[in-house]
Amino acid sequence: METFGDRLKSLRKSKDIGQIELAQALGVSKGIISLWENNLREPTLSNIIAIIKFFNEPADYVLGLTD
């Protein structure tokens, strides 16, 4: 089963952007993106909403509830 971190990394790579660019767009540090992608920390609800808006993907997909 794909984790949130796996899904986030996949989305980021599919848009061909680095962790720094994503971090700047979301207003967090590159380290936070790395922690999320490695499943060492979970984003806040406001960060999840920002991720969903940034990638323009359905919430269920971003959260790994659907494929």
Q: How buried is 32 (Cβ within 10 angstroms: 0-12 exposed, 13-18 middle, 19+ buried)?
A: middle
Q: Give the whole-angstrom CA distance, residue 5 versus residue 42.
A: 9
pLDDT for the residue numbered 25: 97
Residue 1 has pLDDT above 90, yes or no: no
Provide the 10 A C-beta neighbour count for residue 9.
Answer: 19
All structural domains of the chain, each given as residue ranges with its CATH number in brackets, are 4-62 (1.10.260.40)
Where does residue 33 rank: exposed (0-12), middle (13-18), buried (19+ CB within 10 A)?
buried
Q: pLDDT at position 42, please?
A: 96
Q: Are 52 and 59 in contact (CB under 8 A)?
A: yes
Flag whether pLDDT at 31 surpasses 90: yes
